[in-house]
Copies of this chain bind each other. A is one copy, B any other.
Amino acid sequence: MGLDDAVYRLLKKRVGDAQITRNPEDRVCYSYDAAPGQSFMPDAVVFPESEAQVADIMRLAWEKRIPVIPRGSGSGMTGGAVPVQGGLVMAMTRMNRILDIDTDNFIASVEPGVIVADLHTAVENKGLFYPPDPASSAVCTIGGNVGECAGGPRAVKYGVTRDYVLGLGAVMPNGDIIHTGVCTAKGVAGYDLTRLIVGSEGTLAIVTRITLRLLPKPAYVATMAVCFDDMGKAARTVSGIMRRAVIPRCVEYLDEASLALVRNQLQSDLPDQTRALLILELDGDETLVKSQTEQIRAFCLQSGALDIRMATDPVQAAAIWQARKALSPTLYQIASQKLNEDIVVPISKIPDMVSHIQTLQQESGLTIVSFGHAGDGNIHCNIMYDKTDAAQVKQAHNAVDKLFAATLALGGTITGEHGVGLTKKGYLSWEIGEKEQAIMKQIKAVFDPRQILNPGKIFS
């Protein structure tokens, strides 16, 4: 049946003119996300403003078997928000209210369209803290973070989105509204539907309300940039830091190619021989953080650091992070296309993985830029190529194959925080066995027997 004129009119009747469009110029904006090279036109885009509207739309989509693709800001890296079978993109961006910040119980209740950076600001203004902070936090939505189980640099100490979601309101593919989890610190009544929906990449239900656990805002933060003349040295230093009793809140690394891209944004003259950079951040009690910072400084110098630049004020710290966060989009200065993979290896295997990536670069003849969350072994590996050059395209995909094989051989995973979406579908079987995938597919069928919600993703 699909989204034909008749169905479009029905949808329009339900939500009103201002909340739906099928103009080509609008649709093209919702045909892609941050996954390079993936673009499919939706038949229409709808902008619900309430849970009841989401349910109303889904009842119609269910009846008419229309694919529905929930979407936040479209900053996902694996094509999770791309309408591969056309249908209706449901942009959640207008459901962007912070409903409550409960300072007595350290809990927030929010709609999915809230921008993560806005959530940070709102809770921090009340002395609270929401740790997950993906690089795209200035634009990405909390609903998208829930869909992908987003991580970011602070996961080293604080964990990922999953660790902060206490409960959800969600709309099922058939339009039923469900509530999962609790609004208390603990709760184990029945199966954990909350964490089943977190990270399900918009394939099980459309999240309409999120209850989040918050922490007290750390009293003090110290940010430093540590320079090395060799990436291997930096990687070994990370392994060493992570074996110590002090867990920094962030342990990021930038390889030489990454550094070249953002060097001038760091507001600090790095030594000329710098070929790799670690960004370390500690938080907590001021006196303690200062003494821990000294210990880590000493350890870095012992491990062969060329120089250590402490951010002396929040502006300088912000500049370091801005440079780090700008990396992903800046990569297109190197080549017209990238394959961006967020592999994870055990922390002690980071030096092995770094040397493997160097070999891969030499073998493929392609530029491979790597940076990421070294503290939890989560490496963003970007294989750059010219998309008009067939040989390079082939080499790039070949390099990804080798990268994933090496990752899995080291006991790692093919995706730490970006999800499988569209771009890693072909690799899922490398990591997840047939039996386990069969269970996942049956769970999908429990939620969505008509397979209308974000079809063509993960394993479908």
By a beta-carbon cutoff of 8 Å, the part of chain A in contact with chain B is 102-107, 127, 148-149, 151, 155-156, 159-160, 162-163, 172, 176-180, 182-193, 195-196, 198-200, 204, 215-217, 219, 239, 242-247, 284-285, 287-288, 344-348, 373, 376-378, 411-420, 424, 428, 431-433, 435-437, 439-440, 442-444, 446-447, 458-459
Contact = CB atoms under 8 A, between A and B. Distances in A.
Contacts of A244: 216
A367 to B, nearest CB: 26
A432 B190 contact: yes
Given A183-B411, A186-B378, A216-B247, A439 B447 contact: yes
29 contacts: A104-B239, A104-B243, A104-B348, A105-B346, A105-B347, A159-B163, A160-B186, A183-B346, A186-B376, A188-B415, A188-B416, A188-B419, A188-B420, A189-B413, A189-B415, A189-B424, A190-B428, A190-B440, A190-B459, A191-B196, A191-B443, A195-B196, A216-B246, A219-B245, A284-B288, A285-B288, A288-B288, A443-B446, A446-B446
Copy tally for this chain in the complex stands at 2
Contacts of A412: 182, 184
Nearest to A103: B243
A442 B345 CA distance: 35
A344 B186 contact: yes
A415 B196 contact: no
Nearest to A156: B185
- 3 cross-chain pairs, A with B, having the tightest CB-CB distances, nearest first: A185-B376, A186-B416, A104-B348
Contacts of A348: 102, 104-105
Given A180-B436, A439-B447, A187 B344 contact: yes
A452 B253 CA distance: 50
Given A162-B192, A178-B433, A192-B196, A413 B285 contact: no
A217 B244 CA distance: 10
A189 B347 contact: no
Contacts of A127: 245
Contacts of A417: 186, 188
A111 to B, nearest CB: 19
A127 B243 CA distance: 10
Given A189-B415, A189-B431, A245-B127, A436 B178 contact: yes
Contacts of A184: 344-346, 376-378, 411-413, 416
B376 A439 contact: no
A411 B134 CA distance: 31
A200 B191 contact: yes
A296 to B, nearest CB: 14
Nearest to A104: B348
Given A287-B288, A413-B184, A216 B245 contact: yes
Given A435-B176, A439-B178, A195 B195 contact: yes
A140 to B, nearest CB: 15
A190 B437 contact: yes
A284 B156 CA distance: 18
A413 B187 CA distance: 6
Of A176, A413, A417, most buried by chain B (CB within 10 Å of CB) is A413
Nearest to A378: B186
